[in-house]
């Protein structure tokens, strides 16, 4: 019987995928993470608002940059930069 929970949140999955593919489309992110495009857009808005991700345009495409020096938000990991997580999945 497969477990119905995972160690990483959908926010982490989106961030990791953007780290490996800065030009990923919302549709691509939704497929990889296994969530709706609307959920991806909400997560991107959260990540942008918090400063973890910034977005710029390259022609008709969005290009995302990650501020990997920001710290984790949860108190248990608050002193650690997000780049440590991203290094694992690079």
What backbone phi and psi angles, to 5 degrees, belong to 10?
-65, -30
- Tell me if 54 is assigned to some domain: yes
Output the pLDDT for position 5.
85
Q: Output the domain CATH number for residue 79.
A: 1.10.10.10
The sign one gets for the Cα dihedral 59, 83, 6, 9 is negative
Instruction: Report the domain count for the chain.
Output: 1
The predicted model scores a pTM of 0.90
Residue 84 lies in a domain: yes
Calpha distance 35→70 (Å, rounded): 25
Q: pLDDT of 8-56, one tens digit each?
A: 999 999 999 999 999 999 999 999 999 999 999 999 999 999 999 999 9
| 72 has pLDDT over 80 | yes
Residue 2 lies in a domain: no
């Amino acid at each position: 019987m497969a477990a119905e929970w995972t160690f990483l949140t959908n926010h982490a999955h989106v961030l990791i995928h953007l780290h490996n593919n800065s030009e990923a489309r919302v549709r691509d992110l939704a497929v990889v993470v296994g969530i709706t495009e609307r959920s991806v857009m909400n997560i991107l808005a959260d990540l942008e608002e918090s400063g973890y991700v910034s977005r710029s345009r390259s022609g008709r495409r969005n290009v995302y940059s990650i501020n990997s020096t920001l710290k984790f938000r949860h108190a248990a990991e608050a002193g650690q930069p997000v780049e440590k997580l991203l290094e694992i999945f690079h």
